[in-house]
Structure 1
Amino acid sequence: MPKLKGKTAVITGASSGIGAAIAQHLAEEGANVVLAARRKERLDALAAEINGNKKGQALVVETDVAKKADIDNMTQKAVEAFGTIDIFVNNAGVVLNGAIREGEVEKWDQMIDVNVKGVLYGINAVLPDMLKRSSGHIVNTDSVSGHEVTKTSGVYSATKYAVRAISMGLEKELARTGVRVTNISPGMVETERNSERLPNNRKPLQTDDIARAVVYAVTQPEHVNVNEITVRPV
């Protein structure tokens, strides 16, 4: 029997890459999945594929995570469709490299709005009901850039350090409430966004590698909280 049958998972940034893979793997485990992102055509195609497999159901909600109203609307539609939100995967993110000395303020704002505020908006939307039910799982997709900084990743790394800090603080806040928190830190993953940045001396991670880490965390027994997973290529 699928491990997540009857559960509902929301995945932000689900239109491609890691988010799409997470949605597919959770649906394979029987979860109903709410696909949230800005590119609705891609979400519709993914939903058709998931629904065609007749395991978990998929619901598409066009969402900009940098807008709190969009997040609130999306979570409301998820509850209307499936009753509860059991798993919330904060996966949406923006990678815009640039040295701080270049002063590209618009890029800074975009990364902060999506990578930090978007995560907080998502948590804020689902946490009250999870606490009321003493059950739920929040998964935040971080990055190895939240552990290490390069000369061009200062602002991006700062946003991912923030995601780690939010995850660590939230896990402590929610101790013994029944609500679990997992922080996933992928290394370089082969996606359309990273196609020109991949090293040529080793095999990069695949999106499925990260999705399997998420499935591992959310399918543990209810008394087990997997707080942090870092996934790197060999």
Structure 2
Amino acid sequence: MSNDLMGTVALVTGASSGIGAATARRLAAEGASVALVARREDRLDEVRRSIEAAGGVARAVAVDITSRAGAQAAVDRTVEAFGRLDTVVNNAGVMLIGPFADAPVGEWERMVDVNVLGLLYVTKAALPHLVRAAEDGPRRTADLVNISSSAGRVARPGTAVYNLTKFGVNGFTEALRQELQAKRVRVSVIEPGNVDTELASHTRDELRAGVEEQIRAIEKLQPEDIADAVAYVVTSSRRVAVNEVFVRAADQSW
């Protein structure tokens, strides 16, 4: 365990699996106390136990961030437990692939709810604490990291609404970065390519085989690869602002 983030507190959404779980473990290994936010309490407890077994500190916070009340509760419970908030990683996301014309409207709504509204709600609730941490925290800076996607840069058939949400995350991140720059709250976006997570499993059964065939030849990134990118961003000296990190699988051309 390092001490780069010792004395700080991080909140990670979507922390029950994949990139979120790997990021929570990595930030805890860097010395942060970590709030694990997601809906699946049993999975959060597994991640919490793994962090504690490695000598870290974590708290499971089972809420649904797609409601404003849930997002506010996630932040409030984090600050109640640990006394402050220095780092937020907005990682929760869902990807529902398929031709736009045939897609159930509920799929669009779910992606907008999680990928956009959940991120906005958590960010809004967290900002006062991040500004305060940058003013008086041990590192005199704070970090907001949004996990976007290569789909925030490259549009492809069958991912129209997912593209909409991730292009939006990229634009929001850059605008907010400019708003908060003077307050030393660093706002960053990380855009992973194809990662070995549960994300593709959200696709409807009749479309999943086609998706899997598209990516069959790609050696996927691992969640830990993206956790490394997050750690690089948030452990950088306060004189450094890493605005954007784009990480593709080496075999991925799009």
- TM-score band by shorter chain is over 0.9
The unaligned stretches of length 5 or more in structure 1 are: none
Q: Distance in 2 between matches of 1:108 and 1:201?
A: 28
Q: Which moved more, 1:219-228 or 1:199-208?
A: 199-208
Cα pair 1:108 1:155 within 8 Å, conserved: yes
Q: Any idea what the Cα deviations from partners look like across 1:50-90, whole Å, max 9, x if unmatched?
A: 11111x30000101110110111111111111111100000
Q: Who is 1:45 aligned against?
A: 46
Q: Who is 1:96 aligned against?
A: 96
Q: Distance in 1 between matches of 2:26 and 2:129?
A: 25
Tell me the CA shift for residue 103 of structure 1.
4.7
Q: Distance in 2 between matches of 1:104 and 1:165?
A: 26
Tell me the CA shift for residue 203 of structure 1.
1.2
The percentage of aligned residue pairs carrying the same residue is 42
The aligned runs of 1:24-103 (5 Å cut-off) are 24-54=25-55, 56-103=56-103
Cα pair 1:44 1:60 within 8 Å, conserved: yes
SS at structure 2 position matched to 1:209? helix
Amino acid at match of 1:67: S
Tell me the CA shift for residue 136 of structure 1.
1.5
Q: Distance in 2 between matches of 1:84 and 1:15?
A: 22
SS at structure 1 position matched to 2:233? helix
Q: Who is 1:21 aligned against?
A: 22
Amino acid at match of 2:8: K
Cα pair 2:87 2:130 within 8 Å, conserved: no
Q: Who is 1:115 aligned against?
A: 115
Amino acid at match of 1:175: Q
SS at structure 1 position matched to 2:182? coil
Q: Distance in 2 between matches of 1:13 and 1:192?
A: 11
Amino acid at match of 2:159: S
Match of 2:217 among 201, 221, 224: 201
Amino acid at match of 1:212: D
Match of 1:163 among 157, 169, 177: 169
SS at structure 2 position matched to 1:162? helix
Amino acid at match of 2:5: L
Q: Who is 1:126 aligned against?
A: 126
The answer to whether structure 1 residue 172 and structure 2 residue 178 are counterparts is yes
Tell me the CA shift for residue 173 of structure 1.
0.8
Cα pair 2:95 2:200 within 8 Å, conserved: no
Q: Who is 1:186 aligned against?
A: 192
Tell me the CA shift for residue 132 of structure 1.
3.6
Cα pair 1:98 1:104 within 8 Å, conserved: no
The unaligned stretches of length 5 or more in structure 2 are: 136-140, 202-207
Q: Distance in 2 between matches of 1:103 and 1:193?
A: 17
Q: Distance in 2 between matches of 1:67 and 1:126?
A: 15
Match of 2:147 among 135, 141, 148: 141
- Alignment TM-score, normalising by the size of structure 1: 0.96
Q: Who is 1:9 aligned against?
A: 10
Tell me the CA shift for residue 129 of structure 1.
2.4
SS at structure 2 position matched to 1:84? coil
Tell me the CA shift for residue 98 of structure 1.
2.1
SS at structure 2 position matched to 1:175? helix
SS at structure 2 position matched to 1:47? helix
Q: Distance in 2 between matches of 1:106 and 1:200?
A: 28
